[in-house]
Homo-oligomer: A and B are copies of this chain.
Amino acid sequence: MGATKTEHFTDKQNAIAKLAKAMAHPARVAIIDYLLSVDTCICGDIVNELPLAQPTVSQHLKELKEAGIIKGSIDGTSICYCIDELAILEIQKYFEEISNNLNIKKNICC
């Protein structure tokens, strides 16, 4: 008990849940916001932007990276993180599909 029953759901359902989970924390949303706001996809001053300690930020970055939402490349002692378009596109299209689907149906009840 306690662990998610991943094996009972489709690959797509698990994939969407994984992407959503990566965005399921305000600090990680803030990281994405910040990466969008800077011109050069700047590095570890993300820590200075967030009200969290460096290890905590590092952990959030790791989760975003593992979900495929950001990617990082080493640049000397610092690391340059930026958003991975593919993952964003995948989740964007998922919600777009739902939106379109809802428009066609036009809620029968509720």
Q: Which residues of A contact B (CB under 8 A)?
A: 4-6, 8-10, 13-14, 16-17, 20-30, 32-33, 36, 39-41, 50-52, 71-73, 75, 80-83, 85, 88-89, 91-92, 95-96, 98-99, 101-102, 105, 107-110
Contact = CB atoms under 8 A, between A and B. Distances in A.
By Cβ-Cβ distance, the 5 closest A-B pairs, closest first, are A9-B26, A21-B24, A92-B95, A20-B23, A8-B51
Nearest to A40: B108
B5 A17 contact: no
B102 A96 contact: no
Given A16-B23, A16-B29, A30-B13, A102 B83 contact: yes
A26 B41 CA distance: 32
Contacts of A39: 105, 108
B51 A5 contact: yes
A24 B24 CA distance: 7
15 contacts: A4-B27, A9-B29, A10-B30, A13-B26, A13-B33, A14-B26, A21-B25, A39-B108, A41-B109, A72-B110, A82-B108, A85-B99, A85-B102, A92-B99, A96-B96
